[in-house]
Structure 1
Amino acid sequence: MPGKSDKSRSEAPARSSVDKDARSDRSVSDAVGLPAHVTGSGSLERLVKTASNYARAAASENTLKAYAKDWEHFARWCRIKGADPLPPSPEMVGLYLADLTSGSGLSPALSVSTIDRRLSGLAWNYAQRGVPLDRKDRHIARVLAGIRRRHARPPRQKEAIQADDILAMVATLPFDLRGLRDRAILLLGYAGGLRRSEIVALDVHKDDTSESGGWIEMLDAGALLTLNSKTGWREVEIGRGSSERSCPVHALEQWLEFGRVDFGPVFVGISRDGKRALDRRLNDRHVARLIKRCVRDAGIRADLPETERLALFSGHSLRAGLASSAEVDERHVQKQLGHASAEMTRRYQRRRDRFRVNLTKAAGL
């Protein structure tokens, strides 16, 4: 037992320093202060608080959480290797990336896209500390280029939900308050080609809440959504459908009416007895869980084992479904999805355009 006690004592400082780093890292994005040569005052302190609020709004909450975890993982890795994460060392970062690829460390081997994201997280964290990391340094750039060359794989795309699929999915929902809400989520997300974060960020009116990501205007011809998305502000037109069963605007109207939602977040939680809408905004994970549950209940891709087929679908399946199913000019789909380029829109079009134009025959063969 003495050995175990000694080991615990010897490891305690390392754990303590890592935990201390993690605690300080969680507030690094808020580190907005006064210049050293300026004397503080009440008005300046208020501006510091305002600037800190804007700094927090520069990235989404999920992104900030991911970056914090990236730094915590890297800091622990450095201490295990007997190094310090500060100041930035391109050599150590390059070794860290190689270790992530080999899987011989704190985690299994990671994909190239995840390693890219980890590097972005480290660069962001270093920038917040005022000690930028040079990603073009040869110790990082060449290692990353080699990782991409050797380990890169085609992107794993989620399955597109087709028009028949979405109708089968909403048919599994009851007509109680939860069913009305979830039906509106699925149809609105599908017809608008919305990200799951965009769906739950909607408010009924402009400026209803401080965390609003957009609002809805109900018109005779449909609903106009104004969204503050990752690519900036954009308007999304959602027209009325051919029948009430498939109409996203009708589903939204039903939810707002029976849920008595006339202010604040559009999509909120339901009381335990299922009889009233709450004030609490839904988390975007609800959309992902809803899609998987309805895919299962509707028997979509029933030819596959349940675990495998559920893994094929996510929130992006709604966006891919619209892009793949809407038989209109590509530029209209691009505008609806808020893509900066047609190439990005084509990534969402699952098999839509394959072999529509046969260049082999066009070349005379």
Structure 2
Amino acid sequence: MSETEEPGISPAPTDTAPLPAEHEPGKMPAHLAELADRARDYVRKSSSDNTRRAYASDWNHFADWCHRNALASLPPHPQTIGLYITALASGEDGRRAAASVSTIERKLSALAWNYAQRGLKLDRSDRHIATVLAGIRRSHARPPVQKEAILPEELTAMLETLERGTLRGLRDRAILLLGFAGGLRRSEIVGLDCWAEQTEDGSGWIEILDEGIVITLRGKTGWREVEVGRGSSDATCPVVALETWLALGRIAHGPLFRRITGKGKSVAADRLNDKHVARLVKQAALAAGLRSDLAEGERAGKFSGHSLRAGLASSAEADERFVQKQLGHASAEMTRRYQRRRDRFRVNLTKAAGL
């Protein structure tokens, strides 16, 4: 299993700090230099690395499209943006297939962000953009394609496919069990440290107690605590799996989940990339024979890191509000999207109305 990180795309030059108007960057007073450096650091931390990489990739795609069509990418021209999203929707932007509505909306957000970093504003309400986007939605909008939820019995089968008695197997076992029981996003899993303020790039930490694990996370909706209790069996207990990985991996400080080196015999110091979680879920699901009723290529597209979150939401027999809190959702409606086998007719308004 490859654990090398994919090369990141260089983001647009956005790490700029606000300076007094009368000072040019090259003539900044010495006493402001440290503040400027700190401001640039805060700018970098205003969004996640994954978000910045995605926004940089979207900007590069837009700039290349503009170049091929002899159009200017700067400053923002609503007519140009309208043509661009039309090309995306029709598959005439150099891609192999037409982009989905959600992809087009994400690219618009990326363009707005990139323009904002350059001190420019993209007016998405302009008729050249808003009207075209409304037409695209009416013509091409489809229900969201959801990833398959991994249920407890399926997760157990996936665990059986992992290497036994190896560091890689122990680590991956802890990842799957903690990701499922905590309802964690893949970025949240690999962003964990052994304790608070141990690394600059960490996005959370753990505290192992007698009853279980308390995970403190900085997620999409802000800081939250996730409680992962001990399981009824050591074989499927996320706490036992994590304790075993930490003990045999000799990890007491810094990133919780790391790369395995030295032909599987050593634990590296650097943090595991979140793409590993997606690969792990997909490969273990296929190896366990999940959705064997489908063709191989179709099966591979059914599973991702989100399959763990959907699995918890679909299988946890608890009040919906507790599931919502565990997943860190801002609304119950979002939680319901993750529940693949909930009782949709538990509340029957037809009968309640007397029919």
* 8 Å contact from structure 2 (residues 84, 93) kept in 1: no
Structure 1 residue 364: deviation in Å? 4.5
Q: State the distance in 1 between where 2:168 and 2:63 align.
A: 44
Pairwise CA distance, 1:352: 1.2
What is the correspondence of 1:22-171 to structure 2 with a 5 Å cutoff? 26-38=11-23, 40-107=28-95, 108-171=97-160
Q: Which residue of 2 is the match for residue 296 of structure 1? A: 286
Letter of the structure 2 residue corresponding to residue 75 of structure 1 = A
Computing the radius of gyration from Cα coordinates, the structure with the larger value is 1
Distance in 2 of aligned mates of 1:234 and 1:333: 13
Q: CA deviation at 1:92?
A: 1.1
Structure 1 length-normalised TM: 0.90
Distance 1:336 1:244 in 2: 22
Deviation at residue 27 of structure 1 after TM alignment? 4.2
Q: Give the superposition deviation at 1:62.
A: 1.5
Question: Which blocks of at least 5 consecutive residues in structure 2 are unaligned?
Answer: 1-8
Contact conserved, 2:177 with 2:241, CA < 8 A, in 1?
yes
Q: 1:279 to 1:150 in 2, by over 3 A?
A: same
Shift of 1:347: 0.7
In structure 1, give the amino acid aligned to 2:254: G
Alignment of 1:1-365 (within 5 A): 26-38=11-23, 40-107=28-95, 108-173=97-162, 174-365=164-355
The structure with the greater share of residues assigned to helix is: 1
Contact 2:14/2:118, CA 8 A, preserved across alignment:
no
Secondary structure of the structure 2 residue equivalent to 1:265: coil
State the distance in 2 between where 1:82 and 1:180 align: 54
**Structure 1 position 34, deviation (Å):** 2.2
Q: Bigger CA drift: 205-214 or 300-309?
A: 300-309
Offset of residue 31 of structure 1: 2.0
Offset at residue 360 of structure 1 (A)? 4.1
User: Cα deviation per residue 1:76-133 (whole Å; 9 max; x = unaligned)?
Assistant: 2222222211221111111111111111232231000000011111111111111101
1:47 is displaced (CA, Å) by: 1.3
Task: Name the aligned partner's letter for residue 213 of structure 2.
Answer: A
Residue 13 of structure 1 is matched in structure 2 by none
Give the residue type in structure 2 aligned to 1:26.
P
1:299-336 Cα shifts (integer Å, max 9, x gaps): 11111122211210100000000001001000000000
Q: How far apart are residue 354 of structure 1 and its match?
A: 2.5
Letter in 2 for 1:52: R
Q: Distance in 2 between matches of 1:82 and 1:297?
A: 49
State the percentage of identical aligned residues: 62
Superimposed CA distance per residue, residues 37-80 of structure 1 (whole angstroms, 9 cap, x where no aligned partner): 13512221121111111101111111111111222222222222
Where structure 1 has 5 or more consecutive residues not aligned to the other structure, the ranges are 1-22
The whole-number CA distance in structure 1 between the counterparts of 2:201 and 2:179 is: 20
Shift of 1:257: 0.5
CA distance in 1, matches of 2:190, 2:314: 23
How many residues align? The count is: 342
SS class of match (1:28): coil
Q: CA separation in 2, counterparts of 1:103 and 1:136?
A: 24
